[in-house]
Structure 1
Amino acid sequence: MTYRLKKALLGAFSVAALSVASPALADTTIDFQRFFGACDADWGDNTDVSAAVGECGIITSLVNKFEEENPDITVNVTTVEWPGYDQLTAQFAAGDPPDVVTIHQSVLGDYVSKNLLMPLNELLEQQGISPESFTKASLTGVTRDGEIYGLPIDNWSQLWHINLALFDEAGLVNEDGTPVLPTSAEELLAQAEQFQEATGKPYFTMPLANETALYTRDFYTYLQQQDADFFADPTAISIETPEAKAVLELYKTLYDEGYVTKDLDYGASLNAFLAGDAGVHEGGTWVIGDYNAESEKDGTALNAGGYTVVPYPQLYSGTRSQYADGHSLAVSRMDRSDEEEAAIGKFLKFIYDNDYDWARTGHLPSVQAVLDSEEFRALPHRETVLEVAEIGTPVPGEVQRQFAIQDIIGQEMNAAMTGQKSIDDALADMQDRVNDLLRYL
């Protein structure tokens, strides 16, 4: 039985039930599939969005608030393990996709190329949402061949989250209280050595175990800073280059010299930073709110001397840049009634109207007016990370299978860092594997 037939039958039963049961049943249902974690124990009933904290708390509260304001619409939420694309692909294959789904802007092209997502230009126009209202980066991220295929909700990037107490102990704080940041790869290694000698701790904590994303995002960033056009051809990567070798040599040295925590997954790496076990956590925009809240609690490692966060330092002599991506809400291409489509449009408009609250996670707003607002800029640390809105650079949207490519690059970088392969062999295998993937799409 197809999804739409099942839904029609359920609707018929619901109509029958309305005549004999409660009149409070909703008229329209939206199936919303998202990542961002599960937090119903803390926020499952919360409708005060301003009180919510973190990605999960805010998105959960936004959905709750939407249902409160729209009692005729029910939002059925499915929370998937990040990033959820294997499950989404299987759902499309089975003809049973969600109505609305969170998708990274870097991944949109995979589904657009298979005609699985609905162009949103007309639906957004019906809701009074102009494409010109989005930031350039967010609009570019959701546009393919002149059509908008997702409501952009943010742009994000990796950042340097810094424990200022440890930096001060290492003599790496300026007179104005800002951290001393390296301006070259050589300077980074010198500062990491200085930090380790002064504190007895590694300079970095990174999620290097069971992880591929961080490796790849760092790799892209430092290639971009060398003006390496590694995807000049979107169907083939070019990384057997001096620029790529320089990045891997830097990371292998950091690893070999003990300047980075080892064998930690994402959660353990985050906890190491919260415990004061390293000076810098390479983490995303999405933890700014959580880290700032921790820094305001008496007795915590981040409260001891302060917390700050900055974009990646420029370590190479090319263009000021760092890798960036964004989240979007996409709509599956399916037959729907006018009422169902209108409900989806209303839901997208609600998320758009609450872009400021979503930006409290630490992500950069997708709506230009929010990015420019005094309210947003008054949030903690936003002035120090706003540069990402200018320097954030995605991989070209024409490049397919970006998350699969991310896995390959991360695996090969790990092999090079830990000595399982030589750097030259890792780069050769990285290039061959990525190009084999792209060749047989």
Structure 2
Amino acid sequence: MKMKALLSAATLLVTTLGSTPVLATEITLFRFFGGCSDEYANVTDLSKAVGECGIIQVLTNKFNAENKEGITVKTQSVEWGVYYDRLSANIAGGTPPDIAVMHRSILPNYLARDLVQPLGKQFTAAGIDAADFVPVAREAVTVKGEMWALPFDLHALLWHVNADLFVKAGLVDAKGQPKMPTSPAELVQHAETMKAKTGKRYFAIPSAVDPMPTWQYLTWVWQQGGSVVDAEKKVSLESKESKEALRLLNSLYAAGHASSKHDYPSAQQAFIGGEAAVLVNGTWGVDTYEAQAKDPKVALKKYVVRDIPTLYGKDAVWSDSHMWVLPKQSKPDPAKQKAALAFLKFLNDNHVHWARTGHLPVRASVLKSAEFQALPHRAEYARTATIAKAVPAIENQRAIQDLLVNELNSTWLVNKNPDQVLSDAQRRATQILRRARGK
């Protein structure tokens, strides 16, 4: 009997708060966003958290320290490049996490394989007000009338701007603000002026194995009214809009206005070091670059943010969303399920803190809040939420993106002919989608 009691105590701890016994429950959280558990160990003050990793880590610390249900969230931080392979492997191996972060672009793959749980009724039971989600967020997580995830943000491509370099180049408007181009020809003209007047490149773009150029390419395709793949899985990579977008992008590398040698860290360093006027990166960098610009040792002094300029006829910018899902369990544990929903409610309640990263909130009440409005630079890219566009919710969307990254980047990395790039991408993308349809 004593041994049985000891084993029970080892597997299910019991603590006491006042006179009420609370069963301790441990749940696992799968996420990317980087590893910073050592830097933020035991930190629960959200004002001390910076960037995606810092904020999600401190949110988790705070929940663990303050929840009254005896819940402990154990984080498994996975490197971004292998995250979905690891998540799929864990699910296939019978050890799915209790909660996992996921992109909007990936959700269709997991839904098709019946790997995540429906959450609509659970949101109501947990006190999560789904009516507060903005329409684009509800659309991102809803399929056939059911909600499958907790929307966490809208993230999109931005131009991060060194305003001092624009002043030196004379590329400012009557108010002294950086002047954004309004056409492909004007962009090239501005880039040439920047080089001539300052000796600096116009762009820093992560350009090796990074998707950033692909996201800029997609933005320019959409701004022309084109598409690369539609909801019916028709691929259009050899269209005139696609050819024009790649032509413009490649011309910037060919003229030296962007460096093909930049990976993600070196592109950021070039911008922070004052060697490039515009960093092409996402909303997730705003909080970090704002903090770095305050460092007296950093060359970047006057940091501002801009919506992606409209160079063609239509407003559009690439976007995606982070969301939280509950993977299906072979033997669901009601205590763990309840704990996972409690953590999701905590994240939803503290949504404004995640918005500090630079990502756009997906709760209408947070968008209107004074706390959000007071965050730096938000007014500078408020239009992004209204012009954001995403690839249609189709299976194997990430495979199509990976294909585009490999093919498009080969244009400036190994000088592959642009027409051949798009021809090869068209053929391979068609094969990917045909396999997805089982044909």
TM-score when normalising by structure 2: 0.93
**What letter is aligned with 2:383?**
E
Asked if 1 retains the 8 angstrom alpha-carbon contact of 2:410 and 2:416, the reply is: yes
Distance 2:105 2:416 in 1: 29
Q: After superposition, what is the alpha-carbon deviation per residue over 1:54-88, rounded to whole angstroms, capped at 9, x for unaligned?
A: 10110000001101112511111100000500111
Would the alpha carbon gap of residues 200 and 63 (structure 1) be closer, same or farther in structure 2, given more than 3 Å must change?
Answer: same
User: Identity across aligned pairs (percent)?
Assistant: 38
Q: Which residue of 2 aligns with 1:57?
A: 54
Structure 1 Cα separation of the partners of residues 185 and 6 of structure 2: 69
Q: Distance in 2 between matches of 1:282 and 1:19?
A: 49
Is 1:110 matched up with 2:106? Answer: no
Distance in 1 between residues matched to 2:342 and 2:119, nearest whole Å: 13
Matched, 1:245 2:243: yes
Q: What is the deviation of 1:189?
A: 0.5
Separation (CA, whole Å) in 2 of partners of 1:367 and 1:19:
36
**Contact kept in structure 1, 2:162 and 2:300, CA below 8 Å:** yes
Partner of 2:10: 17
What is residue 95 of structure 1 aligned with on the other side?
A: 94
- Report deviation, 1:30: 0.9
After TM superposition, where is structure 1 displaced by more than 6 Å over at least 4 residues in a row?
18-26
**Following TM superposition, by how much is the alpha carbon of 1:45 offset from its aligned partner in structure 2, in angstroms?**
1.1
Letter in 1 for 2:196: E
Q: Distance in 2 between matches of 1:429 and 1:13?
A: 63
Unmatched 5+ stretches in structure 2 = none
Deviation at 1:50, TM superposition (A): 2.4
Give the structure 2 partner of residue 376 of structure 1. 372
Aligned length: 426
> Partner amino acid for 1:16?
A
**Residue type at the aligned position of 1:409:** L
Match of 1:257 among 252, 255, 260: 255
- The code of the aligned residue for 1:291 comes to Y
The correspondence of residues 23-422 of structure 1 with structure 2, limited to 5 A, is 27-70=24-67, 72-83=70-81, 84-211=83-210, 213-303=211-301, 306-317=302-313, 319-334=314-329, 335-397=331-393, 399-418=394-413, 420-422=415-417
Aligned partners of 2:228 and 2:242 also within 8 Å: no
Q: 1:12 offset after TM fit, Å?
A: 8.9
How far residue 422 of structure 1 moved from its aligned partner, in angstroms, is 1.4
Which whole-Å deviations, capped at 9, do the CAs of 1:28-56 have from their partners, x for residues lacking one?
A: 11110100001122212101112211101
Gaps of 5+ in 1: 1-10
Q: CA deviation at 1:312?
A: 0.7
For 1:182 and 1:19, the matched residues in 2 are separated by 62
The one-character-per-residue Cα deviations of 1:269-322 (angstroms, maximum 9, x if unpaired) are 11111111100000111110111112222242222xx110111100101x2111
C-alpha distance in 1 between matches for 2:147 and 2:13: 43
Q: Out of 273-282 and 16-25, give the one that drifted further.
A: 16-25
Q: Does the 8 A contact of 2:141 with 2:148 survive in 1? A: yes
The code of the aligned residue for 1:366 comes to: V
In structure 1, distance between residues paired with 2:55 and 2:34: 11
SS at match of 2:304: strand
SS in 1 for 2:319: strand
Q: Quote the Cα distance in structure 1 between the aligned partners of 2:190 and 2:67.
A: 55
For 1:256 and 1:205, locate their aligned partners in 2 and report how far apart those are by CA, in whole Å: 14
Alignment partners' CA distance in 2, 1:66 and 1:20: 18
In structure 2, give the amino acid aligned to 1:95.
Answer: G
Which deviations, in whole Å up to 9, do the C-alpha atoms of 1:1-50 show, x marking residues without a partner? xxxxxxxxxx9976233899998996211110100001122212101112
2:431 corresponds to: 436
One-letter amino acid of the structure 2 residue matched with residue 214 of structure 1? M
**1:146-190 C-alpha deviation (Å, 9 max, x unpaired):** 211111110001100000111111111223232100001111001
Normalising to structure 1: TM-score of the pair?
0.92
Give the distance between the partners of 2:279 and 2:152, measured in 1 at CA. Answer: 25
In the aligned structure 2, how far is the partner of 1:210 from the partner of 1:373?
Answer: 38
Partners of 1:21 and 1:27 lie apart in 2 by 6
Distance (Å, rounded) in 2 between the aligned partners of 1:270 and 1:19:
47
Query: RMSD value over aligned CA atoms?
Result: 2.0
